[in-house]
């Protein structure tokens, strides 16, 4: 076997040093990075995909995992499975520590990776705007692990609530405050209100769920900023219909894990504050700071080249391509990332063939958000025409679009079955407390000689 191993190592080395084959290293396997990797499939390039997880995450359905609607496994798919037929690609599970753009080498948690072309597709991370206390006490929904933690925390709260007599303590466990009225905030608030109506009262018959408040706090005067007035208004109407308390024009001043203080002086009590108020790019150390702009995004040109470089690119949320139409860069959602990944794949191929690259132009297909079963809002752009719809039809479209987009047939089918089942039965299957959860300060002395059942 030893000889065999030597041969295998030699082959690996030969593969790595394939002379003349330009090597593209992609950091981050989100929508943009994955699309780029696929676009380079039948080219004469070596591709290395680096990600700190071994799976791709379908982010738009993360809120479903957080609210026990879908299992974590339904929205993730291992990179090695997705890309198994791509012979020119190597995957490396690693954290990127630093890039040396002069030497063209990435320093990672597992060692060095050389590149000819580097593509940064690290996406965005939760932005607490420097508020350390908020970062420590609140729950975010930016990764699958976050989402699972939130699910476990919500369910554990109710298990604890059964033992609590004091009314304020009880409400601190039952009430939820969501900060941020974008799609994630709206979707989580809607999903929680559905759980309150259909699931929790059956699971916890001893709790009076009229005590459970769901508060959504939005700094501006409307929800879903960036969508149409019709969509914003209808989303507000649906949420209020579902019993969500929407507080507009408010900001959270502080949160200590128990009391939320707003800029208006109002106070709310909750042990679970869900932070969906902001994201910022996740830049890599070693790129010149002059290229980083507001929100930690890289300034890129129309070819997604980072300002000051010709062989270092950024795509997706981390890239800010400033145009007349998008003076702040494109919205930080899936579509620009996917389209940039695809075009960059073509452009790298063109470069290699000595052809000129083509500038990026965003094809905005519109936006959607779902508030709950049968209730969604959609602003669609089809062939230059705008089309706005809200309600059942928008919801059907939302389901259809998300099923189509989900990675991998098996996941698609599992999600579809999950949804079909839960649609007809009003049931949610993923109500496990499995894995990490936040332990709030004990509501009462656990060793208290108190009868709990």
432 makes contact with a copy of itself (CB under 8 A): yes
Least separation in angstroms between CB 62 and a copy of itself = 13
* Nearest distance from C-beta of residue 125 to a copy of itself, angstroms: 18
What stretches of 195-329 show up as alpha helix (H) in DSSP?
Answer: 200-203, 229-241
Which residues inside 101-120 make contact with a copy of itself, applying CB under 8 A?
108-114
Task: Specify whether the CB–CB gap between 145 and 190 falls below 8 A.
Answer: no
Provide, rounded to whole angstroms, the least separation between the CB of residue 57 and a copy of itself. Answer: 10
Kindly indicate which of the ranges 90-98, 221-229, 337-345, 389-397 contains the residues binding a copy of itself, using the contact rule CB under 8 A.
Answer: 90-98
Query: In angstroms, what is the minimal distance from the CB of 29 to a copy of itself?
Result: 13
Count of residues in contact with a copy of itself, rule CB under 8 A: 77
CA angle 176, 181, 185 (to 5 degrees): 50
Secondary structure (DSSP) of 219-250: SSSSSSBTB-HHHHHHHHHHHHHTT-EEE-S-
Residues 256-295 that bind a copy of itself (CB under 8 A): none
Q: Report residue 291: phi and psi, to 5°.
A: -90, -5
Measuring CA to CA, how many Å separate 392 from each of 234, 238, 286, 377? 12, 12, 49, 9
Q: For a copy of itself, what does the binding mask look like between residues 400 and 419, x meaning CB under 8 A? A: --------x-xx-xx--x--
Instruction: Classify residue 37 as exposed, middle or buried by CB count within 10 Å of its CB (0-12, 13-18, 19+).
Output: buried
Q: Is 187 a catalytic residue?
A: yes
Q: Which of residues 191-220 bind a copy of itself (CB under 8 A)?
A: 202-204, 206-208, 210-211
Token code pair at residue 59: 């982010």
Stretch that binds a copy of itself, among 72-80, 282-290, 294-302, 378-386 (CB under 8 A): 72-80
Query: How far, in Å, are 44, 301, 343 from residue 349 at the CA level?
Result: 8, 18, 10
Burial 41-79 (b: 16+ CB within 10 A, else e): eebebbbbbbbeeebbbbbbbbbbbbbbbbbbebbbbeb
Choosing from 35, 71, 149, 187, the catalytic residue is 187
> Does 18 contact a copy of itself by CB under 8 A?
no
Range in contact with a copy of itself (rule: CB under 8 A) among 10-18, 27-35, 272-280, 387-395? 10-18
Residue 164 or 369 with smaller CB distance to a copy of itself: 164
Query: Residues 21, 38, 53, 311: which binds a copy of itself (CB under 8 A)?
Result: 53
Show contacts with a copy of itself in window 142-171 (CB under 8 A).
144-145, 148, 155-156, 159-160, 162-163, 165, 167, 170
| Packing angle of the helix pair 409-425, 392-405 (nearest 10 deg) | 150
Q: Which CB, 355 or 439, lies closer to a copy of itself? A: 439
- Give φ, ψ of 76 to 5 degrees: -125, 155
Nearer to a copy of itself, 74 or 236 (CB): 74
Near a copy of itself by CB under 8 A, which window of 116-124, 234-242, 356-364, 422-430? Answer: 422-430
Question: From CA 153, how far away is CA 149, in angstroms rounded?
Answer: 6
Q: Which residues are catalytic?
A: 187
């Amino acid at each position: 076997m030893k000889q065999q191993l030597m041969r295998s190592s030699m082959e690996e080395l030969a593969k790595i040093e394939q002379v003349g084959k330009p090597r593209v290293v992609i950091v981050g396997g989100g929508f943009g990075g994955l699309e780029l990797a696929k676009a380079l499939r039948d080219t004469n390039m070596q591709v290395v995909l680096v990600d700190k997880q071994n799976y791709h995450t379908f982010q738009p359905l993360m809120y479903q995992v957080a609210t026990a609607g879908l299992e974590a496994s339904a929205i993730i798919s291992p990179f090695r499975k997705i890309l198994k037929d791509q012979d020119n690609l190597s995957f490396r599970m690693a954290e990127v520590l630093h890039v040396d753009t002069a030497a063209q080498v990435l320093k990672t948690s597992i060692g060095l990776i050389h590149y000819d072309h580097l593509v940064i597709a690290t996406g965005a991370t939760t932005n607490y705007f420097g508020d350390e206390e908020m970062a420590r006490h609140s729950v975010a929904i930016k990764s699958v692990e976050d989402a699972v933690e939130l699910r476990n925390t919500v369910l554990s709260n109710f298990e604890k609530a059964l033992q609590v007599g004091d009314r304020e303590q009880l409400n601190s466990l039952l009430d939820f405050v969501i900060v941020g009225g974008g799609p994630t905030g709206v979707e989580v608030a809607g999903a929680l209100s559905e759980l309150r109506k259909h699931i929790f009262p059956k699971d916890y018959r001893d709790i009076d769920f009229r005590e459970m408040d769901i508060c959504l706090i939005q700094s501006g005067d409307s929800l879903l900023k960036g969508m149409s007035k019709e969509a914003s208004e209808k989303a507000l109407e649906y949420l209020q219909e579902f019993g969500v308390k929407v507080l507009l024009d408010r900001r959270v001043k502080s949160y200590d894990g128990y009391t939320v203080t707003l800029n208006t002086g109002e106070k709310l009590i909750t042990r679970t504050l869900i932070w969906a108020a902001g994201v910022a790019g996740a830049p890599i150390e070693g790129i010149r700071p002059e290229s980083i702009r507001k929100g930690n995004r890289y300034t890129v040109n129309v070819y997604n080249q980072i300002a000051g470089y010709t062989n270092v690119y950024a795509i997706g949320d981390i890239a800010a391509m400033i145009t007349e139409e998008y003076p702040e860069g494109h919205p930080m959602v899936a579509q620009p990332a996917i389209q940039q990944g695809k075009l960059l794949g073509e452009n790298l191929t063109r470069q290699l063939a000595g052809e000129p690259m083509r500038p990026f132009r965003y094809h905005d297909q519109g936006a959607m958000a779902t508030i709950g079963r049968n209730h969604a809002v959609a602003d669609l752009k089809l062939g230059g025409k705008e089309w706005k719809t809200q309600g059942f039809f928008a919801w059907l479209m939302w389901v259809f679009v998300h099923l189509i987009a989900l990675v991998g047939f098996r996941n698609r089918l599992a999600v579809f079955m999950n949804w079909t089942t839960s649609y007809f039965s009003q049931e949610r299957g993923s109500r496990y407390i499995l894995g990490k959860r936040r332990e709030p300060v004990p509501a009462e002395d656990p060793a208290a000689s108190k009868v709990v059942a």
